[in-house]
Chains A and B, each alone.
Chain A
Amino acid sequence: ETGVTQSPTHLIKTRGQQVTLRCSSQSGHNTVSWYQQALGQGPQFIFQYYREEENGRGNFPPRFSGLQFPNYSSELNVNALELDDSALYLCASSLTSGKETQYFGPGTRLLVL
């Protein structure tokens, strides 16, 4: 059984650019959630995907968007990057929507200059 994987591990972008982060969910999990973790803070929920449909969204602007593919892997896209977008972006998978236990990947560290 493979765990949650994310790519890339680190990324540097400049303000105004666009970025795509990728996540492969744990085997057998059909739900993926994305979180933003600023330095020294707890993870903040961005959105969740269940069977390729968005299934909940946190307090993030529309320039944060996502996709889930038939194999349940997922992408997080951020347009018009701002300096405050610099953070660790975490992906978590769960067995199904509404299940308590989420398994986190190692994250992608994004730095916006």
Chain B
Amino acid sequence: QQQVKQSPQSLIVQKGGISIINCAYENTAFDYFPWYQQFPGKGPALLIAIRPDVSEKKEGRFTISFNKSAKQFSLHIMDSQPGDSATYFCAASGPGGSYIPTFGRGTSLIVHP
């Protein structure tokens, strides 16, 4: 049972464009939603995270939008740069599971110069 569904599987964007990655979750007990960025040969690195008490969180060019009623959240990368080319994972966790994250399957983002 896949508790966090992520789409698209891959994404190609031109430099300066907006990259949008979507995730949906099933477990209503989840209350922490991080996004991780992973470069080839490296471990995932926390990019930005949100709690369900807000609908949007922005850090630089990265924004999380959160829709609690739809159980969906998304990552928007504004002004995408070639250096943003990486695999992005959404995740969800909650106190019932000691905040051990359940990951989506990942989105491979390529930003063309």
Taking Cβ atoms with an 8 Å cutoff, the residues of A that contact B are 4, 33, 40-45, 48, 55-56, 58, 90, 92, 94, 97-107
Contacts and interface: CB of A to CB of B under 8 A. Distances in A.
10 closest Cβ pairs, A-B complex: A42-B103, A104-B43, A100-B32, A100-B99, A104-B44, A106-B43, A107-B43, A98-B98, A42-B89, A42-B105
Nearest to B91: A42
Contact of B93 (A58, A100, A106, A107): A100
A3 to B, nearest CB: 9
B61 interface: no
A40 B9 CA distance: 9
B66 to A, nearest CB: 15
Interface in B85-101: 89, 91, 93, 95, 97-101
Interface string B18-56: 000000000000001010100001111110010000000
Contact of B44 (A48, A90, A94, A97): A90
Q: What's the interface size class on B, roughly?
A: 20 to 34
Contacts of B97: 56
Nearest to B100: A45
A40 B104 CA distance: 11
A64 to B, nearest CB: 15
Nearest to A45: B100
Given A101-B49, A103-B46, 15 more contacts: A40-B105, A41-B105, A41-B106, A42-B89, A43-B103, A44-B103, A48-B98, A56-B97, A56-B98, A94-B99, A98-B99, A100-B32, A100-B49, A102-B46, A106-B43
10 contacts: A4-B43, A42-B91, A42-B104, A43-B44, A48-B98, A90-B44, A97-B98, A106-B41, A106-B42, A107-B43
